Amino acid sequence: MNMHRVLTTLGCALTAVLATAWSAPPPTEPAEPAEPAATTVRTSVPAPFAAISTTVRTPDGRVRGTARDGYRTFEGIPYATPPVGRLRWTPPRRPAPWSGVREATRPASACPQPAGEVPGGSTDEDCLHLNVTTPDTAGPAHPRPVIVWLHGGGFTTGAGSSYDAHRMATRGDVVVVTVNYRLGALGFLAHSGLPGSGTFGLADQQAALRWVRAEIGAFGGDAHNVTLAGESAGGYSVCAQLASPDAAGLFDRAIIESGPCTGRPDRPFAPSSISLNTARAKGAALAAQVGCGAARDVTACLRHVDVAHLLSAQETDQQPAFSTPLLPSDPAAAIAAGRFHRVPVLIGNNHDEGNGWAAGIVQAGHPVTPDTWPDVVATFFPSPGLAKKIVREYPVHRPDGGPVFGAVIGDANFACPTARTDGLLGAKVPVWRYEFADEHAPPLTPGTPPFPLGAPHASELPYLFDLGGRPRHLTAAQNRLADTMIGYWSHFARAADPNGPSLPRWPRQTVVSLAPDHVVPTRTAGHRHHCAFWNTLG
């Protein structure tokens, strides 16, 4: 294994460690006792909504959720047929209707993945489920905007149930849907004998969006006002759906957090896509590794391989494939050419995106010092002459050079690509751009890092969700920032504009800096990064 793969693997391992910060599933309250009307009555709810039903009739069948304090949750609802057996590596199909009342009071299994965000991992392929969180005041007669959330995790880990969305639902007065989609080799394997190669996970996301258009009205969501949102690999998934012809008409707004659409494989920390030829080469290598490379029918052989064996054999890096029917072009190229769906976009990144990876790599025994810095840079940027330019632009003068490494990762992979994506999208559609900049954001991992992390990758998530059902531990000022962010996100979902009553003004064509008691628009956010330098490198 070369040094690039070692360090990249360490970075991915750190992502898994970060994921354990929200790995505990939310505590499940017992379902309401079965009653003839399957209804819970709250005297504190305004009269028009005094009777809050925990049973909802959908086109596929009735589901019974859980009544909570001001909102309801419906968990583990199938949006596609289980992709098992002969349906492994096939496009998602509508689920079969059911009779009676289906319990939706606890999350379904996460899609297969190694241990990390999901304790012990998962090998359950029956995973194409989603979760709905809806305010008590939402109903078919009073529909609310819908936010569909795609989780991050490098296309290898994650689950919709990790994101407790009740604060966004109640404070933002929106319906939130969190989605599982196929991951790793099961989601992105490519082979010439498999229609849909390299994009099964993206196809799952589209199936979930079709479910939302058809069925969310029963839960009080406005099927004609759907915002697709995600972070990291979930944010890049939003980019892919913007560029996918098959996603036309499936959503009305887009929110992209730390998943710039112009990601590229030579910048290995941000998500990106790969060509179908490259994906097929990876698929052939996987088939050989699990003993199917020489089989008469490779796909049939692969469908009999144990899930755990596939997980152990798959590469750490996973990306969707372009030059495919679902994704004809690399999203970066499609967006640069103006070939994307014309919907308003809210996009942003965190000020210190790269610090978490840099800290993990330093702690794993790869210090960044004036002596080691040129070799570390050359490992990640092996093009002739490039490493020297980066070392000159980001000099390390002290033995604790981890923050400099973090700045390189953050600028090259996130901040500057986000600025470029903002410019490309903004030439065609309304775009609002933010930078999350709380330098005292609560840590997502236990222990003491080798240097202060500031606002690293994923640190904005506890301001929007309770991760793993754990109450967030924020200061009073941070809670005010969280309320402001939820206000921006929900107003954007409601009206394609984040500005609303009692919120700091967010003018277009500026970057709003999100920090406690300091939410201000600025035109200089990019100047804190070295984007002019990275722009000269292409």
- Are the C-beta atoms of residues 387 and 438 closer than 8 Å to each other? no
Distance CA 421, CA 435 (A): 14
- Are the C-beta atoms of residues 126 and 107 closer than 8 Å to each other? no
Measured in degrees and rounded to the nearest 5, phi and psi for residue 166 equal -65, -30
Distance CA 256, CA 508 (A): 16
Nearest Cα to 413, choosing from 421, 402, 403?
421
- Are the C-beta atoms of residues 338 and 423 closer than 8 Å to each other? no
Q: How is residue 185 annotated by DSSP?
A: H
CA triple 472-477-479, angle to 5 deg: 35
Bridge partners (DSSP) of residue 124 are none
Distance CA 425, CA 498 (A): 17
CA triple 228-241-409, angle to 5 deg: 90
Which of the residues 162, 232, 273, 329 is marked catalytic?
232
Whether 232 is catalytic is yes
- Are the C-beta atoms of residues 71 and 174 closer than 8 Å to each other? no
Nearest Cα to 529, choosing from 416, 434, 391, 453?
416
Q: What is the pLDDT of residue 384?
A: 79
Which of the residues 457, 491, 529, 530 is marked catalytic?
457
Q: How is residue 113 annotated by DSSP?
A: B
304 C-beta neighbours (distance < 10 Å), count: 11
Q: What is the pLDDT of residue 361?
A: 92
Q: What is the pLDDT of residue 537?
A: 83
Distance CA 374, CA 370 (A): 8
Whether 351 is catalytic is no
- Indicate the residue type of 249: G
Structure tokens belonging to residue 500: 């609303």
Whether 457 is catalytic is yes
Q: What is the pLDDT of residue 524?
A: 54
Nearest Cα to 71, choosing from 35, 44, 108?
44
Distance CA 192, CA 284 (A): 10
| Burial (Cβ within 10 Å: 0-12, 13-18, ≥19) of residue 405 | buried
- Per-10-residue mean pLDDT for the chain, 538 residues long? 46 46 41 33 36 86 96 98 97 96 96 92 97 94 96 96 96 98 98 93 98 97 98 98 98 98 89 96 96 95 97 93 98 97 98 95 93 92 87 95 96 95 97 96 88 96 89 90 97 97 91 90 65 86
- Are the C-beta atoms of residues 129 and 209 closer than 8 Å to each other? no
- Are the C-beta atoms of residues 468 and 22 closer than 8 Å to each other? yes
Distance CA 19, CA 115 (A): 10
Coil, strand or helix at 395: coil
Distance CA 345, CA 425 (A): 8
Distance CA 119, CA 130 (A): 19
CB neighbour burial string for 342-374, b if at least 16 within 10 angstroms, e if fewer: ebbbbbbbbbbbbbbbbbbbbbeebbbeeeebe
Chain length of the chain: 538
Does this model's pTM top 0.85? My answer is yes
Coil, strand or helix at 444: coil
491 C-beta neighbours (distance < 10 Å), count: 22
Q: What is the pLDDT of residue 36?
A: 32
Between the two ends of the chain, the Cα-to-Cα distance in Å is 28
Q: What is the pLDDT of residue 26?
A: 38
Structure tokens belonging to residue 290: 């699990």
Which of the residues 75, 215, 231, 353 is marked catalytic?
353
Nearest Cα to 418, choosing from 497, 509, 518, 531?
531
Distance CA 489, CA 491 (A): 6
H helices then E strands: how many in the chain? Answer: 16, 20
